[in-house]
Amino acid sequence: MIRIPCPHCGPRNSDEFSYIGEEKRRPGPDTSPTEWRTYLYSKSNPAGWTTEQWFHAAGCGKFIVAERHTVTNEVRATRPKPRFERSNAGAEAGGGSS
Amino acid sequence: MIRIGGRVVAGPTRRIGPQPGEVIDRSRSLTFYWNGASRAAYDGDTISSALAAAGDRVLSRSFKYHRPRGILTATFHDPGCLVQVDDEPNVRASHRQVAAGMDVRALHSWPSLRFDVGAANQAVGPFLSAGFYYKTFIKPQRLWPAYERVLQRFAAGGRVSASSPHGDYDKRFAHPDVLVAGGGPAGMAAAIAAAEAGAEVMLVEEEHELGGHLRYGDEVALSRLQELRAAVAAHEQIEVLTNSAVTGRYDDNWVAVLQRSMPHVTERLVKARAKSVVVAVGLIERPYVFEGNDLPGVMLSSAVSRLVNLYAVRPGERAVVFTGNQSGEAAAAALERAGAEVAAVVDARRGGALLRARGRGGVTEVETGDGARVECDLLVTAAGWTAPTLLVNMTGVKPRYCDRAARFVPGDDLPSDVFATGGLVGDGDVDLLVEHGRATGLRAARRALETLDGHGPLTALPRLEPADHPALFRSRTHGFVDLSEDVSSKDLVSAAQEGYDSVELVKRYTTATMGPSQGKLETINTVAVLAESTGRTVAETGTTVWRPPHVPISLGALAGRNLEPVRYSPMQPWHEAVRARPIVAGQWIRPEHYGDPASEVRNVRENVGLIDVTPLGKLDLRGPDVPRLLNFLYVNKWSKLDIGSVRYGVMCGEDGVVADDGVTGHLGPDHYFMSTTSSGASAIYEWIENWLQTTFTDWSVHVTEMTSAFASINVAGPNSRELLRRLVDDVDLGPDAFKYMQVRQGTIAGVANCLMWRIGFTGELSYEVHVPAAFGLYVWEALMAAGADLGVGPFGLEAQRIMRLEKGHFIVGQDTDGLTQAFTAGLDWLVKLDKEDFAGRPELVWQSERSDELRLVGLQPTDPTVVPPEASQIVSGANEIEGRVTSSRFSPTLGRSICLGIVSADLAHAGTVVTVKQPDGTRVTARVMEEHAHFDPAGERLRG
């Protein structure tokens, strides 16, 4: 079992985390089936470095981003939050506060 | 007398006088039983050493041909020494120590060890040749059950007793700085050096004591052993685990150790996270392949040294020694000390060769390469060594063949936190092994303690390399390569001729290396025979991949203590007191019913019932952006939900597949309370947190999991309002003041801060109340007491399932599956595609544009007494699958069977009669209904 250095809790066994998957940008509402299903189902699955999200379910309850080498399982960096800006997904969906 | 040849019987003792390194305690004699007959032993004997001392040569019958087998290696991996001990099958007789009164029996022998009908298999050898599993017994397939019965009789393994008491198994987590695998001279030296450098060390040894090959070595070896043991004992920082095996090394030095030495614990799995690992597992002596190499009386040189030096047993009377190294000479010397005659030494280094061994039930004669025949009862082989490179190879390093030493070596480029020392790395005398071990241990400690720099110079790592060794794998004759699986070198040759010319293919085709010793003795010879028959070198042929575990781990050790975490509601004592029938629902144990689900249904429809719905997921949502969040999570709209109101919602995944459903209420300014399905509670929490933490990071929403903070009770039935009114006085329960789909906060039976929402899964007037968990049982009992004259009674999960089916409410995961998108589930009325965005919207837009989608429909069997089993297929024509029945019950309310089912679009019209094919193959018909609800489709009862 690999260890993941949680940026909030320090190095912990990976069974404290749930694996979310590769970091991906969610397409906006005007997406096409091809773009959307690429987002849903296509994984780049490299033999090498990959940037992925983990959820520290049995720890701080935070989503973190880890850079992991899929061949050696080395985790070279973790960050508290995804690096990218969110798309405008959902921004207009709500009705404001009550 | 022990007769050489002919029948083998227990003769007078072969125990010799005291030996300097013996591990038996002669002051403690004991008696055990071998196939029902008593045998004497000393404390410290293994089962096989005690049997050898008693003159027993045959310890088992082999797996396929039922040939007699005896001691070969005198170690844990001894292939012919699996026995049954009391009710424990497959015990390693050359490792397990004898205990007084033990009932030891042979495996694989029916009707007896001496007269084994299975031995007739030898006469039909070709019938069981290479790949026989794939060639024989396959056709005709209808006869397979008969084949299976016959094969089982001959198959490996002991008898598992169904009445065995549950053993004690345990787990432990450890965090040593340095873990040393192997307690021989190099391992002990590494542990000592690491401890001296300040590291906490775990030293793991497979055998019952530290020492490795020093234990059965000469006087010099024994005196070095004493020094090393004393130094290990002097260090409090070294924890020694004997009779324990490192079974695997995983990423980041996550090391599995199987510990068998705990008093009162059968096996304990130690999960160690070591900062550095030293692999010092030594070498395994390998057998030699020649005709007759499996006869009892053929032994490895290390087995002879062990029997003589550790157990004071003379393994034979007259021996031939075939040797390619010093270990053979040591065995010859030990034999002479034990009073055996060494009739001939055949030295492979001087051109000597071994041709075959002859005998029935044991060796009686050996034929050497020059044609000489020597009468003997013991043939000793010293053909070389195998490096068990598993732990090193698990780091990703591939083994490399060293031609001049005729063995595979670990390979280079170990990760910086894994070190190798000892015989695994190379051959040397005790001084060299200790020196190399110390230097390695120091490096491991420095790596672990992060003191590699600036803490004094490191002494150079001494040169430790494999010594030259003749390439001894197979003689000119053919013999067994795998004694566990009865695979001969001939089988390998014919497999290669059939085209199975890669080592991985040969292994799977012949099952060589796949038996209990898992290739530790067999792999190298398999590779060598294959190399020879394909005209390649051993290096070109390559080796199979070693895989964990290094030794078998029982399922008990993997399971650990018999502790299964479960969740109970606060009302559990009440359910138990009335003997509710429990049902496992995920982690929760819930009442399935209280005796008669049908009468529970009738009581809810006529009076009032209580159901414990505590497992419902409950989330407290606060913040100004909660409505935006709800709008995004649910497929329906949430912008205009007044304070005091609740709404039903369905969540879909980004694939448009129904993920969860539940009710969310608006409790106050910026304050909402969400309920989820019981099974979805933790997943939905994670799903919400994911959006908030990674996408909508600028939204102000705080989510708190409240599932076990509240006990939840659904009060359902026409009398529910009257019942609640008796216990609630700060909330107006009147039908106009507290309407359907509204929520109130108030006091129930004196318990403040309760939530009441008027909703109805059962289809009756009902209130779901959430009570602070500590008062759950109290409120439940108060409701029961207050409603006695109203006919209040409990109802369980089954009654609730019947009632919700009567109402046509689907259950996520039962009436939907991993492909059921919202429109298939009939949620057309709920999904609001005019919202700009929500989870799964793109897929639902596209689904709404398709007309050929499956649909969830209400179904009623034509024969109202037929209740088709759930998962029955809906078919057309001969066997065209058109859908399936997802829920099916007999409705006590309607007096008929009712179902929900998913059917193809062209059948999803009211009035269509479909064919339901039940699991037993019979067909019935059912009518597609107008609505999902079978009962009160207009919902008049719950709105009353």
pLDDT tens for each residue of B828-837: 999 999 998 9
Residue A4 CA to residue A63 CA, distance in Å, equals: 12
| Residue in chain A lying closest to B641 (CA) | A98
Chain A nearest C-alpha distance from B835 (Å): 6
C-alpha B661, offset from chain centre: 34
- Would the pLDDT of B134 be above 90? no
For residue B158, give the DSSP letter: -
Q: Looking at residues B796-820, what average pLDDT do you find? A: 96
Residue B106 CA to residue B85 CA, distance in Å, equals: 9
User: Residue A93 is nearest to which of B628, B654, B843, comparing CB atoms?
Assistant: B628
Alpha-carbon distances of A1 from A14, B253, B256, B271, B418, rounded to whole Å: 6, 9, 11, 10, 16
CA dihedral over B254, B259, B262, B266, signed as positive or negative: positive
Q: Rounding to the nearest 10 degrees, give the CA dihedral for residues A28, A31, A34, A40.
A: 40
Lowest mean pLDDT among B407-411, B440-444, B561-565, B566-570: B561-565
Task: Kindly determine whether residue B693 and residue A29, on different chains, have CB atoms separated by under 8 Å.
Answer: no
A97 shares contact with chain B (CB less than 8 Å): yes
Q: Which H or E run contains B49?
A: helix B47-53
Which band of pLDDT confidence, cut at 50, 70 and 90, is reported for residue A93? very low
Which band of pLDDT confidence, cut at 50, 70 and 90, is reported for residue A82? low
Q: What is the pLDDT of residue A94?
A: 39
Structure tokens at B347: 């030295």
Q: Where are the beta strands (DSSP E) in B46-185?
A: 60-61, 68-69, 82-85, 88-92, 103-106, 169-174, 178-181
Q: What is the pLDDT of residue B5?
A: 41
Q: Looking at residues B32-60, what average pLDDT do you find? A: 96
Residue B311 CA to residue A18 CA, distance in Å, equals: 53
Beta carbons of B83 and B59 less than 8 angstroms apart: yes
| Residue in chain B lying closest to A35 (CA) | B842
HEC secondary structure over B660-725: EEEEEEEEECCEEEEEECCCCHHHHHHHHHHHHHHCCCCCCCEEEECCCCEEEEEEECCCHHHHHH
SS3 state at B627: helix
Q: Looking at residues B420-431, what average pLDDT do you find? A: 96
Alpha-carbon distances of B605 from A6, B601, B706, B719, B765, rounded to whole Å: 53, 6, 30, 9, 9
- What residue spans of B771-878 are helical by DSSP H? 776-786, 797-806, 841-848
pLDDT, one tens digit per residue, over B187-214 is: 999 999 999 999 999 999 999 999 999 9
Chain B nearest C-alpha distance from A5 (Å): 12
The per-residue pLDDT of chain B, averaged, comes to 92
Task: Kindly determine whether residue B631 and residue A36, on different chains, have CB atoms separated by under 8 Å.
Answer: no
Q: Residue B670: its chain A contacts at CB < 8 A?
A: 97-98
Task: Kindly determine whether residue B693 and residue A62, on different chains, have CB atoms separated by under 8 Å.
Answer: yes
**Hunting for tokens 């109203």 — which residue is that?**
B790
Beta carbons of B609 and B636 less than 8 angstroms apart: no
Chain A nearest C-alpha distance from B250 (Å): 6
Total Cβ atoms within 10 A of residue B311: 27
- Would the pLDDT of B36 be above 50? yes
A80 shares contact with chain B (CB less than 8 Å): no
Residue B899 CA to residue B929 CA, distance in Å, equals: 10
Residue B761 CA to residue B678 CA, distance in Å, equals: 14
- Would the pLDDT of B153 be above 90? no
- Cβ-in-10-Å burial (0-12, 13-18, 19+) of B160 comes to exposed
Interface-testing mutation among B175, B249, B251, B688, with chain A (most A C-beta atoms within 10 A):
B251
| Residue in chain A lying closest to B696 (CA) | A86
Q: What is the CATH number of domain B169-283+388-449?
A: 3.50.50.60
- Domain ranges in chain A are 3-79
The residue with greater pLDDT, B349 or A81, is B349
Spell out the residues 6+ positions from residue B688 whose beta carbon is closer than 8 angstroms to its own: B619, B629, B633, B703
A82 shares contact with chain B (CB less than 8 Å): yes
Tell me the CB-side half-sphere exposure of residue A13, using CA atoms within 13 A.
15
Q: What is the CATH number of domain A3-79?
A: 3.30.2270.10
Structure tokens at B479: 């013999």
C-alpha B672, offset from chain centre: 43
Lowest mean pLDDT among A91-95, B128-132, B542-546: A91-95
- Would the pLDDT of B458 be above 80? no
Which band of pLDDT confidence, cut at 50, 70 and 90, is reported for residue A25? confident
Residue B609 CA to residue B625 CA, distance in Å, equals: 38
Beta carbons of B232 and B210 less than 8 angstroms apart: yes
Residue B635 CA to residue B649 CA, distance in Å, equals: 7
When the candidates are 3.30.200.20, 3.30.470.10, 3.40.1390.30, 3.30.1360.120, the CATH number that belongs to B572-615+710-791 is 3.30.1360.120
Beta carbons of B661 and B812 less than 8 angstroms apart: yes
Residue B94 CA to residue B479 CA, distance in Å, equals: 23
Lowest mean pLDDT among A58-62, A94-98, B578-582: A94-98
Q: Residue A92: its chain B contacts at CB < 8 A?
A: 836-837
Task: Kindly determine whether residue A94 and residue B629, on different chains, have CB atoms separated by under 8 Å.
Answer: yes
Q: Looking at residues B576-598, what average pLDDT do you find? A: 96
Lowest mean pLDDT among A25-29, B226-230, B432-436, B611-615: A25-29
Q: What is the pLDDT of residue B66?
A: 83
Interface-testing mutation among A17, A53, A97, with chain B (most B C-beta atoms within 10 A):
A97
A34 shares contact with chain B (CB less than 8 Å): no
Phi then psi dihedrals of residue B121, to 5 deg:
-55, -30
pLDDT-above-70 percentage for chain B:
93
Q: Looking at residues B111-140, what average pLDDT do you find? A: 56
Angle at which helices B503-510 and B489-497 cross, to 10°:
120
Residue B765 CA to residue B748 CA, distance in Å, equals: 18
C-alpha B528, offset from chain centre: 33
- Would the pLDDT of B907 be above 90? yes
Task: Kindly determine whether residue B251 and residue A73, on different chains, have CB atoms separated by under 8 Å.
Answer: yes
| Residue in chain A lying closest to B693 (CA) | A63
- How are beta strands B25-34 and B37-43 bridged, if at all? antiparallel
Q: What residue type is B400 in one-letter code?
A: R
Task: Kindly determine whether residue A96 and residue B627, on different chains, have CB atoms separated by under 8 Å.
Answer: yes
Q: Residue B252: its chain A contacts at CB < 8 A?
A: 1-3, 73
Q: Where are the beta strands (DSSP E) in B855-895?
A: 855-861, 873-876, 880-891
Which band of pLDDT confidence, cut at 50, 70 and 90, is reported for residue B263? confident
Beta carbons of B908 and B852 less than 8 angstroms apart: no
Chain B nearest C-alpha distance from A49 (Å): 16
- Would the pLDDT of B631 be above 80? yes
Interface residues of B toward A, Cβ cutoff 8 Å, are 250-252, 254, 273, 396, 624-632, 638-640, 643, 654-655, 666, 669-670, 686, 689-691, 693-697, 835-838, 841-843, 846
Q: Residue A2: its chain B contacts at CB < 8 A?
A: 251-252, 254
Q: ipTM, 2 decimals?
A: 0.87
SS3 state at B785: helix
The residues that bridge with B378 in the sheet, in sequence order, are B319
Homologous superfamily, domain B804-822+834-943: Aminomethyltransferase beta-barrel domains (2.40.30.110)
Task: Kindly determine whether residue A61 and residue B689, on different chains, have CB atoms separated by under 8 Å.
Answer: yes
Q: Residue A26: its chain B contacts at CB < 8 A?
A: 654, 695
- Cβ-in-10-Å burial (0-12, 13-18, 19+) of B705 comes to middle
- Domain ranges in chain B are 25-128, 169-283+388-449, 572-615+710-791, 617-705, 804-822+834-943
A18 shares contact with chain B (CB less than 8 Å): yes
Q: Looking at residues B891-918, what average pLDDT do you find? A: 96
Q: Residue A55: its chain B contacts at CB < 8 A?
A: 686, 689-690
Residue B324 CA to residue B382 CA, distance in Å, equals: 6
Phi then psi dihedrals of residue B189, to 5 deg:
-65, -40
Question: For chains A and B, what is the number of CB pairs under 8 angstroms?
Answer: 102
CA dihedral over B212, B215, B218, B219, signed as positive or negative: positive
- What residue spans of B582-680 are helical by DSSP H? 597-606, 626-633
Alpha-carbon distances of A14 from A56, B254, B642, B691, rounded to whole Å: 9, 11, 43, 22
Spell out the residues 6+ positions from residue A3 whose beta carbon is closer than 8 angstroms to its own: A11, A12, A13, A14, A75, B251, B252, B254, B273
Q: What is the pLDDT of residue B62?
A: 86
Sheet of strand B254-259: strand arrangement: B169-174, B267-273, B254-259, B244-250
- Which fold would CATH assign to domain B25-128? Ubiquitin-like (UB roll) (3.10.20)
Which band of pLDDT confidence, cut at 50, 70 and 90, is reported for residue A84? very low
Q: Looking at residues B274-284, what average pLDDT do you find? A: 97
Task: Kindly determine whether residue B693 and residue A72, on different chains, have CB atoms separated by under 8 Å.
Answer: no
Smallest CA-to-CA distance from B422 within B132, B241, B263, B189 is with B189
pLDDT-above-70 percentage for chain A:
83
Chain B nearest C-alpha distance from A63 (Å): 7
Task: Kindly determine whether residue B843 and residue A36, on different chains, have CB atoms separated by under 8 Å.
Answer: yes
Which band of pLDDT confidence, cut at 50, 70 and 90, is reported for residue A96? very low
User: Residue B654 is nearest to which of A13, A40, A72, comparing CB atoms?
Assistant: A40
Q: Does domain B617-705 have CATH number 3.40.640.10?
A: no
Q: What is the DSSP string of B381-408?
A: EE--EE---HHHHTTTPPPEEETTTTEE
Q: What is the pLDDT of residue B113?
A: 61
C-alpha B866, offset from chain centre: 42
Cis peptide before B111 (omega within 30 of 0): yes
Q: Looking at residues B572-592, what average pLDDT do you find? A: 96
Lowest mean pLDDT among B25-34, B82-91, B121-130, B615-624: B121-130
The residue with greater pLDDT, B815 or B131, is B815
pLDDT, one tens digit per residue, over B516-569 is: 888 999 999 999 999 999 999 999 999 988 889 998 898 899 999 888 889 999
- Would the pLDDT of B649 be above 90? yes
CA dihedral over B704, B707, B711, B717, signed as positive or negative: positive
Q: Looking at residues B603-631, what average pLDDT do you find? A: 97
- Cβ-in-10-Å burial (0-12, 13-18, 19+) of B251 comes to middle
Spell out the residues 6+ positions from residue B736 whose beta carbon is closer than 8 angstroms to its own: none
Chain B nearest C-alpha distance from A12 (Å): 11
Q: Looking at residues B339-360, what average pLDDT do you find? A: 96
- Would the pLDDT of B6 be above 50? no
Which band of pLDDT confidence, cut at 50, 70 and 90, is reported for residue B161? confident
